[in-house]
Amino acid sequence: MNLTPDNTVMFTLWGLPINATIFYTWFVMILLTGASMLITRNLRPDVPPNRWRTTLEVIVKGIQSQIAEIAPGPSRHLLYFAGTLFLFVAVSNLLLVVPGFEPPTSSLSTTTALAISVLIAVPLFGVSSRGLGGYLKTYLEPSFIMLPFNIISEFSRGISLAIRLYGNIMSGAVIAAILLTVAPFFFPVVMDVLGLLTGMIQAYIFAILATVYISSATAPPSQPEKDIL
């Protein structure tokens, strides 16, 4: 049993081995991009929305409302970033029920890459909102003595995001494999249901934490920062 899709080589491209993590990551990205293009290809006021467009609008509105509760004010920039994170993690985890599919989120390399993207996004959004001087000043709050601790805290956020997501997905796969050997008919169904539920919860938590971190970096100095989950 492979604990990570990194160990599964799908094919070789120009002499480079393409493992399951890379393959299924691109598969999910192509799936999301293609589905959004097909659903929105007739996005015009004179065309009545179909069920797929309605579903997509419900998802987008739901993500937007969750972001608005955390980050009051203009949040379109957060919608693009946090919404993409949520959809990628959620779809990757939901496809776990497809036989043979190995979710890229069960690889530490994928979860680390997602966490690094959040670490990069936080200062970018912070500088864009507060300016370079205003953002750097946050590392000196409440006093300059806290500078090293604030820097350590910034990196620990990314590490916790990566390990939390990877640990939950991997542990679910390992437990399912163990139960499959004990009772191959009943437990897989239960574990698939629990896996779907856990996958959606993890996607939600990951996107919410990213939103909280960015909201804290972009909040005006007079506005108290949100408590981090």
Give the pLDDT score at 153.
Answer: 76
Average pLDDT over residues 53-66: 86
Report pLDDT for 224. 44
CA–CA gap between residue 95 and residue 32 (Å, rounded): 12
Residue 42, pLDDT > 50, answer yes
Instruction: Give the total residue count for the chain.
Output: 229
Determine the pLDDT at residue 166.
Answer: 66
Question: Which of 70-84, 118-132, 146-160 is least confident?
Answer: 146-160
Better-scored residue on pLDDT, 149 or 178 = 149
Q: By mean pLDDT, which of 82-86, 148-152, 209-213 is the weakest?
A: 148-152
pLDDT at res. 175:
57
Q: How confident is the model at residue 176 (pLDDT cuts 50, 70, 90)?
A: low
The whole-angstrom separation of Cα 116 and Cα 161 is 9
Q: pTM for this one?
A: 0.78
Other Cβ atoms less than 10 A from the Cβ of 225: the count is: 12
The structural domains of the chain, with segments of one domain joined by +, span 5-218
* pLDDT tens track for 136-152: 777 777 777 777 777 77
Q: Are 158 and 209 in contact (CB under 8 A)?
A: no
Distances (CA, A) of 72 to 130, 206, 213, 229: 16, 19, 14, 18
